[in-house]
A and B are shown apart, each in its own frame.
Chain A
């Protein structure tokens, strides 16, 4: 279930291998999973794997590649860019012979447009930044420091910014400020309201909800069978 994949070299520097979680039984349907990032990645990791287990049970292979700078990666997060991650996911789709894509939250911002698939509760870059900036100003206030969102945004653009413990480089920061999820051909959105219950990213601490995972996979299976979402 655990293996590795090799992201493309960047600027002539060969990239190191990254981890890959795969339910790969060589079936016809192979779903690339673009996970969410940063703080939400912790909260949704278990949910993401629960969805993959259910896809496996439904006869669908699924592949979850780690992006450079995330999880066990040796690459520094601060040097990653949105464009780079998008290229990585496109390369992963090809290398892993994915037939479909499931993007989760911010993952929708880098979902390869060449694959049909689904964006689950897609999140825009500005909203993602806004939440993390807000957390930082609240924490600063509690600690007796004055930080304004405006000054932090300027700092993020100029030199990058650490938000919630995640070191976001200036290029990534600037790109997120403009990034809106867009559906590619054959892609559709699965809103949280259709899955039911509160989104697990809202939780103060990582949680799980088997019912939500069941319903999300049921939607995907229906969609594959040609039913409208």
Chain B
């Protein structure tokens, strides 16, 4: 299910928030309310390591990026802004 990826900021935002909504079973509108400081891993009890692994794997599929072990750190997972910045850097770096 690899899609193509000329994602501008708004499209990336939509994709990432949609993904988080899918993982957490939220209404899409609820996820759209996430801001840069919204807490993720360590803040949302549902988001355990297995769920984060699923989230990252799905990001790889939907954004067409490869996420290495070493890429994954507390900072990128802690807030929505961190995750977004990470995705942006990955997309820009290809």
Contacts and interface: CB of A to CB of B under 8 A. Distances in A.
Interface stretch (A59-67, A72-80, A199-207): A199-207
Interface of B: 1, 21-25, 46-58, 69, 72-74, 77
Contacts of B73: 141
Interface of A: 39, 127, 130-132, 134-139, 141-142, 148-149, 164, 191-193, 198-199, 201-205, 207
Contact of A204 (B23, B69, B77): B23
A202 B47 contact: no
B27 to A, nearest CB: 12
Most B CB within 10 A of own CB, among A132, A138, A139, A149: A138
Contact of B72 (A127, A138, A191): A138
Given A130-B57, A203-B24, 13 more contacts: A39-B50, A131-B57, A134-B57, A136-B49, A138-B53, A138-B72, A138-B77, A139-B48, A202-B23, A202-B54, A204-B51, A204-B54, A205-B51
Contacts of A201: 54
A203 B21 CA distance: 9
Nearest to B58: A202
